[in-house]
Amino acid sequence: MNWENNVRKVVPYVAGEQPKDQNVIKLNTNECPYPPAPGVEAVLHDFDCDILRKYPDPDVSDLVSVLAKRHGLSDSQVFVGVGSDDVLSMSFLTFFNSGKPILFPDITYSFYDVWADLYRIPYECQPLDENFCIRKEDYFKENGGIVIANPNAPTGVMADVAVLEEIIRANPDSVVIIDEAYVDFGGQSCVPLIGKYENLLVVQTFSKSRSMAGMRIGYAMGNEKLIKYLNDVKFSFNSYTMNATAIAAGVASVEDEQYFQETVAKVVSTRERIKKELSRLDFVFTDSKTNFIFAAHKRVPAQEIFDALRANQIYVRHWNKPRIANRMRISIGTDEEMDTVIRFLEEYLKDK
């Protein structure tokens, strides 16, 4: 039995835990603490299940259309997938096909190197500076593609769009992907540059600011040639990636702009308040423009705080990796959840 010799062996991405215990304060995967727009529940409540016997719309036209309208683009400039992970993975497969190394920061979303390994794409990580900022010069060398999360995760740091524009402009032979999973919480989007640079692909998600991680919806925006290539690969993989409920629920979410703005404003307001509390408790952190805070304590190692929080049913994220081992990523929950966290930390840090 030698079939195992021919298997593609990979080291899979490890996502944050999804505990089944409902009593956990879950601040480990940057989920939104508020429910999706009320229209989402209405859509499912009234869903005509007879249509499920048919294949869904392979072009996801209804959802593409509302997204295009919201971002001031045409339908041919939008691609929808099963969460931004699906969209990004498919973009790696489609655009990073030169054999030359692709470039991304050393500290960033840890799925980038996993996708590169999966598709045998060579890559070179570019070190962020001591403030976790991108050094644009690192992206002016020959490459097979570039991917930058902005704001970055898990650092929360936002790069200036002008800096990103320089990188995009300097790389006409590469596709530059800007992963804007967290942009709605105060970041600046690169979407306005789409008309100017045909090598720019911007990716966003419903998982954070739209409270729909459980529905798996992400999307890419770019010039229509890019979107066409992406669709060709998608249609070579699975004609129907988006199920009928996800399409209908996604449309309902986009149609309620007011709820979206209010939800984002609540998260941002909690974040800014918690920054002050954490400062008071001797934490240091970057100026997050996301729905999480990337914090280190001045005296107590992150691993110890992480363990103490966990023992008290508060889950945050911690990586035992170079440069960030002394940091924790704390997602922004409800005000009540965050108050519980702060009370716990206050007590826990009292004698340290």
Show contacts with a copy of itself in window 91-110 (CB under 8 A).
93-98, 100
Q: Which residues contact 328 (CB under 8 A, 6 or more apart)?
A: 294, 295, 296, 302, 305, 306, 316, 317, 318
Burial of 198 (0-12, 13-18, 19+ CB in 10 A): middle
**Residue 350: CB atoms within 10 Å:** 8
Smallest separation (angstroms) from a copy of itself to the CB of 186: 19
**Comparison of 9 and 299: residue with beta carbon closer to a copy of itself:** 9
Segment near a copy of itself (CB under 8 A); pick from 78-86, 150-158, 308-316, 323-331? 78-86
Binding residue for a copy of itself (CB under 8 A) from 68, 69, 101, 118?
Answer: 118
Among 23, 45, 311, 320, binds a copy of itself (CB under 8 A): 45
Query: Smallest distance, Å, CB 129 to a copy of itself?
Result: 27
Note the Cα 66 to chain centre separation in Å: 21
Rounded distance between C-alpha atoms, residue 203 and residue 150, angstroms: 10
Q: What is the smallest separation between the CB atom of 134 and a copy of itself, expressed in angstroms?
A: 20
Residues binding a copy of itself: number (CB under 8 A):
90
Sign of the four-CA dihedral 259, 19, 112, 303 = positive
CB of 50 to a copy of itself, least distance (A): 4
Sites for a copy of itself among residues 53-72 (CB under 8 A):
53-58
Which CB sits closer to a copy of itself, 90 or 158? 90
Rounded distance between C-alpha atoms, residue 250 and residue 281, angstroms: 40
Asked, as a colleague might, if the bond just before 101 is cis with ω within 30 of 0, I would say no
86 binds a copy of itself (CB under 8 A): yes
Q: Which of 27, 85, 107, 183 is in the footprint of a copy of itself by CB under 8 A?
A: 85
Task: In angstroms, give the least distance from the CB of 225 to a copy of itself.
Answer: 7
Binding positions for a copy of itself, 163-192, rule CB under 8 A: 171-175
Interactions with a copy of itself, residue window 189-218 (CB under 8 A): 198-199, 207, 211-216
**Contact residue for a copy of itself among 193, 233, 300, 349 (CB under 8 A):** 233
Q: Which of the residues 309 through 328 are near a copy of itself (CB under 8 A)?
A: none
* Residues contacting 260, CB < 8 A, separation 6+: 37, 184, 209, 210, 253
Of the candidates 146, 132, 82, the residue with the CA atom closest to the CA atom of residue 289: 132
Segment 9 to 38, residues that bind a copy of itself, using CB under 8 A: 9-15, 18, 26, 29, 31-36
* 114 sits near a copy of itself (criterion: CB under 8 A): yes
Is the CB of residue 302 less than 8 Å from the CB of residue 237?
no
Residue 51 within binding range of a copy of itself, rule CB under 8 A: yes
Q: Which of residues 131-150 bind a copy of itself (CB under 8 A)?
A: 144-145
* CA dist., res. 215 & res. 43, Å (int): 13
At residue 26, the 3 state secondary structure works out as strand
Confirm or reject binding of residue 249 to a copy of itself (CB under 8 A).
yes
If we measure between CA atoms, which residue out of 237, 273, 271 comes closest to residue 119?
237
Output the smallest distance, CB 81 to a copy of itself, in A.
Answer: 9
